[in-house]
Each structure stands twice: as C-alpha cells, then as structure tokens.
C-alpha cells in the first residue's frame, strides 16, 4: 500500500534547509507569532526549493478543524438534474463559504446507501459544518447532524428539527399575493390544488390562499394530495373540475402540480389562460416548459444559499443564529 508519488517534503525538511526550527517555519507559514524578516526569507526560499506543501491531515488533527463545509443534496435524481433552484442555492452557498476561506464539499444522497455513507462522512469529522438542502424530517443525515451537534442549516423547513436553524421563504405571503392577483384579474371561482398539507410549506400555502379570498373562501374548492407531483396535479384538477365545472382560476401548490393541472384542463377541453387561469409555485424547470409558461413564485435561490452558509459560519464562531425567512418575487407569465 505504498503511495505512488514521491515522498512529500515536510516542515522538518523546510526547517533543515532554512537552518531554523520547525516551530519557526510553522509560525512563518501561518503568520502567527514573531518571525524575523531574515528567517522568513530563508524559509520561503527553502519552501520553494524542496517543494513543500502542507499536510492537511496532520494540520486538521492538531487543530481539530477541517476548513470544509458540507453541502448535502438530498433529492431524487430527477429533481437534482432538473431543478434550477438547487444549482442556484449551491452557487450562493459556495460564494459565501469561499469568501470565509472554507471549502465547500458537495455530498449527493441518491440512495439509502448514500445516506448512510454521507452520514458517516459527516460523523467522521471531515467537515466543520453542513448545509442541508431539502432534507425530510425523518432523515438519517439530519439525525447524524443533530446527534454530533454539527453546526448546520437547512434550506427549506423540515418539521421536528428545532435544534437546526433553517432558511425558508414566506410561503403564506407568496400564496396570498398569487391568489389576490387571480382574484383581481377577474377570476370568480378560484380553486386550490393543495399538496403536502402535513408539511409547513403546504399548510402555509393553503393559509395564504385562504387569507386572500377571505369570506369568499370555499373549502369545497380545495382538493388535496400528499405530493407535490405532476400526477397529483392531474388527479386533483380532474376532481376539482368535477366539483366545480365553472372554475376559472386555479392555484396549484407547485409548478409540477400546475403542469399536471394544465394537462387535465386540456383533456377536459379548457384553454389556459382563457377559460381557466393557473398559477404555480417554485419557478422550477416546469414553469417554462409548460404551455403556456407558468405564472409562479420565484425562489431567491442564490440568496437562500448565501443565508444558509452564513447560518453555518455564525455557528462556527460560537453564535446561535436565528432561522431566516426570505421574501419572494412573483413572476407573471402567460398562464394567468
């Protein structure tokens, strides 16, 4: 099990070449403590001469710090490949983490095996903190994080993890804006395709819908499904049409749901937006792929990533930051 490359130079070698002690070299390297200009010059020459590069395993061992932060993406294949939000979050997190001289390490959870391996990676002390994207409540990775008290932050808001701060968006306010607009553009019978009412995001979107409609809210026009999926959109829209054939406005709880709804409407011979106005949520890849393109809520992905990174960094400094809720923008396209 010999390593293939040549043996790397150590501080010891540098010290010998420079005619100083290891301690002096270390101080020069880290800019900490005193070191004379002359010694520094000799050390720098020696470093170049022997091709020294610091051994981080040794450094991490003694410093109990890795200068690395994990970015755990916990999505089914499809979403990871398609959802532009994930990429934006990643870039935002990376920017802040890099600025703080840490290294971002992206860990992909794509199977149960992956979850186990990533958990033990986090437990293994390879990173000083972690950003968790779209984790669920019962999540092996989150368990590990909580158990070892790894400084971490969620992007999104899984319930039942009060110990870990999160970066969320104001689902309720966004839903309110969307629904109000539907109403103000003349829609009289407005329904909602609600999803995941057992999660905060789902419940809050329904609450915002209700807020906007006030006394005109009609429980009969809310059709629920456990999932934020295309198929959920098809089936709930079909059911909504059955309950209220004269529906002319629909708030779908996500873009995928909206896409399914549009398909169901088309099958039923309705046109969008003429017969029925449809709005979605997330501004995911679905939004532009739909025909017509979806009016939807744009998530400030990069800013969410930046905020999550700051949450972790602050914990690294010993602080106990509060969770963050970010405002959203609604983008009006052609579907309503």
Partner DNA sequence: TTGTACGCGTTATCAA
Partner DNA sequence: TTGATAACGCGTACAA
Residue 121 interacting entry, from its own copies, DNA, none, C-beta within 5 to 8 Å by type: its own copies
Identify the CA nearest to 105 among candidates 113, 94, 96, 115.
94
- x-marked contacts with DNA along 10-29 as a string, rule CB under 7 A: xxx------xxxxxx-xx-x
* Residues from 40 through 59 that contact DNA (CB under 7 A): 52, 54-55, 58-59
Residue 33 interacting entry, from its own copies, DNA, none, C-beta within 5 to 8 Å by type: DNA
CB 77 within 8 A of CB 110: yes
- Cβ distance to DNA smaller for residue 7 or 186: 7
Residue 246 interacting entry, from its own copies, DNA, none, C-beta within 5 to 8 Å by type: none
Indicate whether 101 belongs to the interface with DNA (CB under 7 A): no
Residue from 32, 101, 317, 318 touching DNA (CB under 7 A): that is 32
Residue from 2, 4, 34, 317 touching DNA (CB under 7 A): that is 34
Question: What is the bridge-based pairing of β-strands 324-326 and 166-169?
Answer: parallel
Smallest separation, CB 24 to its own copies (Å): 21
Indicate whether 67 belongs to the interface with DNA (CB under 7 A): no
Residue 318 interacting entry, from its own copies, DNA, none, C-beta within 5 to 8 Å by type: its own copies
Smallest separation, CB 259 to its own copies (Å): 14
Cα-Cα-Cα-Cα dihedral sign, residues 147, 153, 157, 163: positive
Smallest separation, CB 101 to DNA (Å): 14
CB 246 within 8 A of CB 218: no
CB 288 within 8 A of CB 311: no
- Cβ distance to DNA smaller for residue 54 or 216: 54
Tell me the Cα Rg of the chain: 26
| Rounded Cα gap, residues 107 and 120, in angstroms | 12
Which stretches of the chain bind its own copies, using CB under 8 A?
1, 3-5, 53-58, 60-61, 64-66, 68, 71, 77, 80-82, 84, 87-88, 90-91, 94-95, 98, 103-108, 110, 113-114, 117-118, 121, 123-126, 148-149, 151, 288-289, 315, 318
Please report how many Cα atoms fall inside a 13 Å half-sphere around the Cα of residue 112, on the Cβ side: 1
| Rounded Cα gap, residues 301 and 110, in angstroms | 21
Query: DSSP 3-state helix, strand, coil percentages of the chain (rounded to 5)?
Result: 50, 15, 35
DSSP letter string over 7-47?
A: PPP-HHHHHHHHTS-HHHHHHHHHT-S---HHHHHHHHHHH
Smallest separation, CB 155 to its own copies (Å): 16
CA 282 vs CA 54, 87, 144, 184, 255: distances in Å? 44, 14, 29, 22, 6
Indicate whether 30 belongs to the interface with DNA (CB under 7 A): yes
Identify the CA nearest to 157 among candidates 147, 145, 146, 170.
170
Using CB under 7 A as the criterion, which residues of the chain lie in contact with DNA when the complex forms?
A: 1, 7-8, 10-12, 19-24, 26-27, 29-30, 32-36, 38-39, 52, 54-55, 58-59, 61-64
């Amino acid at each position: 099990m010999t390593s293939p490359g040549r043996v790397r130079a150590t501080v010891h070698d540098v010290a010998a070449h420079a005619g100083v002690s290891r301690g002096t070299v270390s101080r020069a390297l880290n800019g900490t403590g005193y070191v004379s200009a002359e010694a520094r010059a000799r050390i720098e020459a020696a470093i170049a001469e022997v091709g020294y590069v610091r051994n981080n395993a040794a450094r991490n061992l003694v410093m109990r710090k890795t200068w690395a932060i994990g970015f755990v993406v916990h999505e089914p294949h499809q979403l990871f490949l398609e959802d532009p939000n994930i990429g934006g979050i990643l870039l935002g997190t990376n920017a802040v983490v890099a600025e703080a001289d840490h290294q971002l390490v992206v860990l992909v959870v794509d199977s149960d095996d992956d979850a186990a391996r990533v958990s033990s990676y986090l437990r293994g002390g390879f990173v000083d903190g972690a950003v968790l994207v779209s984790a669920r409540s019962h999540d092996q990775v989150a368990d590990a994080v909580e158990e070892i008290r790894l400084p971490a932050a969620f992007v999104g808001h899984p319930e039942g993890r009060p110990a870990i701060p999160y970066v969320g968006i104001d689902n309720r306010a966004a839903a309110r804006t969307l629904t109000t607009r539907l109403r103000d553009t003349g829609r009289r019978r407005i329904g909602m395709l609600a999803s995941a009412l057992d999660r905060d995001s789902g419940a809050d979107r329904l609450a915002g819908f209700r807020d906007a409609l006030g006394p005109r809210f009609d429980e009969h026009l809310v059709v629920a499904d456990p999932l934020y999926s295309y198929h959920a959109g098809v089936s709930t829209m079909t059911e909504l049409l059955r309950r209220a054939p004269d529906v002319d406005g629909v708030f779908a709880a996500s873009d995928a749901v909206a896409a399914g709804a549009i398909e169901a409407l088309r099958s039923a011979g309705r046109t969008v937006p003429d017969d029925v106005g449809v709005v979605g949520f997330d501004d995911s890849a679905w939004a532009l792929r739909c025909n017509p393109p979806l009016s939807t809520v744009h998530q400030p992905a990069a800013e969410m990533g930046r905020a999550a990174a700051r949450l972790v960094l602050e914990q690294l400094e010993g602080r106990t930051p509060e969770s963050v809720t970010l405002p959203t923008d609604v983008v009006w396209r052609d579907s309503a």
